[in-house]
């Protein structure tokens, strides 16, 4: 929670450095939300001699700035390119998940369940000797003892 408030502070500080034309592209509600959620005790200073991408900042700050750029500051070509890249990244991530968690496990389990159900439905037949064999076996046992 504290990182998020600090990130809003960093974003707010960076937005203050934008020129007026770019700053006005961002809706006032968004800026008000950033300002309302920032940590006023946290101080973040930008080094004018260092490029923005090399400034020390929280990962949350980078994510917020990326979304602000994509939604409000990017031109249509950049927006399309960013959205395409994000979609490709999502697809790669989904493929990784599919390979990692292997959805075939569930289909194999269904097959195993049907085999198990078939085995359970079969009745087990008990082997019983017929009467004639039982009598002969008893006679044999009697003679073997003596």
Neighbours of 59 (CB within 10 A): 9
On whether residue 141 sits in a domain, the answer given is no
Could you tell me if 114 and 58 lie in one domain?
no
pLDDT digits (tens, 9 = 90+) for 88-115: 999 999 888 888 876 555 555 566 666 6
On whether residue 107 sits in a domain, the answer given is yes
Could you tell me if 79 and 69 lie in one domain?
no
No. of H helices and E strands in the chain?
7, 0
Domain with 102, as residue range(s), is 75-121
On whether residue 135 sits in a domain, the answer given is no
Non-local CB neighbours of 45 within 8 Å, separated by 6+ positions: 13
What does the pLDDT average to over 119-144? Answer: 75
Question: Chain centroid to CA 92: how far?
Answer: 12
Place of tokens 């592209």: 25
Could you tell me if 11 and 64 lie in one domain?
yes
Tell me the whole-structure pTM to 2 decimals.
Answer: 0.61
Token duo for residue 28: 């006032």
pLDDT digits (tens, 9 = 90+) for 54-70: 888 889 989 998 989 98
Could you tell me if 69 and 79 lie in one domain?
no
Number of residues assigned to the chain: 146
**Do 15 and 72 meet the contact criterion of CB atoms below 8 Å apart?**
no
């Amino acid at each position: 929670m504290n990182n998020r408030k600090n990130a809003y502070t960093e974003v707010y500080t960076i937005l203050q450095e934008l020129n007026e034309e770019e700053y006005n592209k961002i809706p006032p509600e968004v800026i008000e939300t950033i300002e309302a959620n920032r940590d006023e005790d946290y101080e973040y200073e930008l080094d004018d001699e260092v490029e923005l991408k090399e400034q020390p900042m929280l990962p949350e700050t980078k994510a917020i700035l990326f979304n602000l750029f994509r939604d409000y500051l990017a031109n249509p070509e950049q927006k399309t390119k960013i959205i395409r890249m994000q979609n490709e990244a999502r697809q790669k991530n989904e493929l990784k998940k599919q390979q990692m968690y292997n959805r075939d496990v569930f289909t194999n389990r269904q097959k195993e369940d049907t085999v198990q159900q078939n085995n359970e439905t079969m009745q087990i037949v008990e082997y019983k000797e017929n009467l004639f064999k039982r009598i002969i076996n008893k006679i044999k046992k009697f003679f073997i003892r003596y």
